[in-house]
Chain A
């Protein structure tokens, strides 16, 4: 397939994003320092808040891996225009692997099942001990990261190769890799979701949970990549690649992922609520005691209904500023949902928001964004030879 080359546009040295990175790093480090100090006095709260922040940013990176794979398989110019922002997010996975260390060290502070004493007195946890035990938990985490890092490495390397030559064999190789990626992604994320989130309440289980986390990660990836693209569009000359149609498509994808998230979340709620089995419904009861009820309501209204209604409008989807605002708002929404998933596992007395629940996401986010922007600036911000551009021309 003959592909037409696009100009290779890079982030120039005087670009505002270049300045934003170090600033984010400073903010992140300050917040991180506070979290670190706090951890000396209250390590339990620190690592629990840290998990919330970690899951938020990890979701963007992993979601990007999945969206990239879908694009390499299905094509479409919508994916080509956000390919580089997504790829830069997958290149943050080494940093995220490093940032996993506090969680690995804090297993005992996070998870009830990590205490042999508790397990010995709880027959259900004893039954699960073959899976929920500290060594196996760590081995699994190593396997997940090994798979994610390998995929991210290959996907980025071949993508840059494609920029140089536009060799159709590279395109083909990317497609093959993407198929394997989706299989591996589905399995690793499912089990990572069980390990890191579901097992916070080790008696509770829900089979849809892995899919729910995957849907959330896809949503995170779009919610993050769209504002990045809009900033790049408004500051660089990208008219040859990014058309209004593609912005509209991205808006539609964001809308679709909001609906997927709502669909999966509602399915889980409706099934558990209707069956009303004690071991399952207690998970929701913890999350609807006191103020948590209002957090849940917030999610329904502001993580679903409001962005859904905004994105129904064709006009809104064509305006970069509105799309970017919806994206950023949804990242905030993601934080609220992760807070709602994690925090009530420890609190049985209703809503409580710790300062660190806010600071830890900022700490990780600051460092992460700095790292992200370095990677974004490293290559052309729009792929030079994506076959999807040629298809769309056709």
Chain B
């Protein structure tokens, strides 16, 4: 993705700083908005091209699916939830970091969030867009997806509100809406900046329409800040609720391996784990490609790595509880489920998962790994893979070998399973590159508050 031609920033960012030295209001504004308004690096075209190509793969896979039905996938009885549900959970998990960074870190007054919140939120939206498609595709007749919504209909029926799948509809749509609102509200002042700086008439008009006439009035800022804090306060429990409800999809059933009360917190921790891993996976190449080392500093990477380490340990705790309670429950089916995970037909996926999610992330205990861009990049990719495997283990192994050995079956994904998965990266990357091209990937107005001269004289200084 890097176009390699740009020289590295001449200045050296001191360790522990969250913004490089010598930045002013003007330099921050210029640097970030120029990524949108001026140059389009060659790397962007390459990245966008890859995204678009994969999107074509996605459309092809969907074409097959719509033409022939879900039979093109490998799902069967007993494994009725295959790669589509795995991918749903995986994508929606990734979609947790953005709102979390924006909301919780705002409430904790963590100023280091400033430079990563915008694109982490964007990433959230695109990941949720990818995630939201899967349950709909999984329906078999996706054109009837609106049946999930409670509306008065001629059949005289209503959704069953005791079903977690209906809770999912509410949770995912609420999450998508609120994340979009949060992201858009955060963008308004920056859209005004782009409106005021754009030299392109059409750009000026479009940015102007979306900036809604923002003029930076002090009374507006005052309410704006209140609204942002309130949204943060609302989003924090919302983020937690979404993956909790996703975990209910499994946990309220009676399938061994699914029915576990630890699932809600363990899913939420896993979501944050994978979400931060994905933010790191994207941020590290991005800062190199656009020369943003002054804004996304090593301190940011270090902090993200610490969050990954902490949430990874909670996930590991979840695995340990599953194993211990399989024994402690003294329940034949719980025990055989765990035994099959260790040694059964899918044992490779379980041990690979332990390697990716438990063992390798322990490298993050070392500061040298946390602040090494390549090292952290590799670990974050391993975590992305590990979290995908976790969902594979949960979905497939639990279903493939449940209560009755006579009805056991092995699930093998087909090429259309895989191309639907790989294709969804196309949707994600296309949206991501369009975002980078047309919107400021770092919040400009919030970065201005980190500039030394932003402090009102007589006020207090920050590091």
Question: Chain A residues in contact with chain B, CB under 8 A?
Answer: 76, 124-125, 127-128, 131, 183, 186, 190, 194, 205-211, 252, 259, 263-264, 267-268, 270-272, 274-275, 277, 279, 393-394
Contact = CB atoms under 8 A, between A and B. Distances in A.
Given A271-B252, A271-B263, A210 B321 contact: yes
Contact of A271 (B107, B261, B462): B261
B259 A277 contact: yes
Contacts of A128: 328, 330
Contact of B329 (A205, A263, A267): A205
Contact of B240 (A263, A272, A393): A263
B252 A274 contact: yes
With most chain A CB atoms within 10 A of its CB, the pick from B253, B330, B462, B463 is B330
A259 B240 CA distance: 11
B252 A211 contact: no
Contacts of A277: 254, 259
B160 to A, nearest CB: 12
Given A207-B322, A267-B244, A271-B252, A131 B259 contact: no
A267 B261 contact: yes
Interface in B325-371: 325, 327-331
A127 B263 CA distance: 25
- 3 tightest A-B contacts by CB? A207-B262, A274-B252, A127-B330
With most chain B CB atoms within 10 A of its CB, the pick from A76, A272, A275, A394 is A275
With most chain B CB atoms within 10 A of its CB, the pick from A124, A211, A264 is A211
Interface string B251-265: 111100001111111
Contacts of B327: 131
Contacts of A183: 313
Interface in B449-463: 460-463
Interface string B365-388: 000000000000000000000000
A259 B237 contact: yes
A168 to B, nearest CB: 14
Contact of B317 (A124, A186, A206, A259): A186
Contacts of A270: 248, 252
B254 A275 contact: yes
28 contacts: A131-B327, A183-B313, A190-B317, A194-B328, A205-B325, A207-B260, A207-B321, A207-B322, A207-B325, A208-B261, A208-B262, A208-B265, A252-B107, A263-B244, A263-B264, A264-B265, A267-B244, A268-B261, A271-B248, A271-B252, A271-B259, A271-B264, A274-B252, A275-B251, A275-B259, A279-B331, A394-B460, A394-B461
Interface in B273-331: 313, 317, 321-322, 325, 327-331
B463 A394 contact: yes
A263 B261 CA distance: 12
Contacts of A207: 260-262, 321-322, 325
With most chain B CB atoms within 10 A of its CB, the pick from A211, A271, A274 is A271
Contacts of A206: 261
Interface residues of B, number: 33
A244 to B, nearest CB: 15
A59 to B, nearest CB: 19
Given A205-B325, A394-B462, A267 B264 contact: yes
Contacts of A274: 162, 164, 248, 252
A277 B162 CA distance: 16
Contacts of B460: 393-394
A194 B321 CA distance: 11
Contacts of A205: 325, 328-329
Contacts of A210: 321
Contact of A124 (B253, B263, B330): B330
A305 to B, nearest CB: 15
B316 to A, nearest CB: 10
Contacts of A264: 264-265
Nearest to A183: B313
B258 to A, nearest CB: 9
Interface string B228-260: 000000000100100010001001111000011
Given A271-B259, A275-B259, A394-B460, A208 B264 contact: yes
A125 B259 CA distance: 21
A128 B335 CA distance: 12
Contacts of A125: 330
A209 to B, nearest CB: 8
A259 B265 CA distance: 13
B76 to A, nearest CB: 25
Contacts of A209: 261
A76 B110 CA distance: 10
A211 B268 CA distance: 13
A279 to B, nearest CB: 8
A275 B254 CA distance: 6
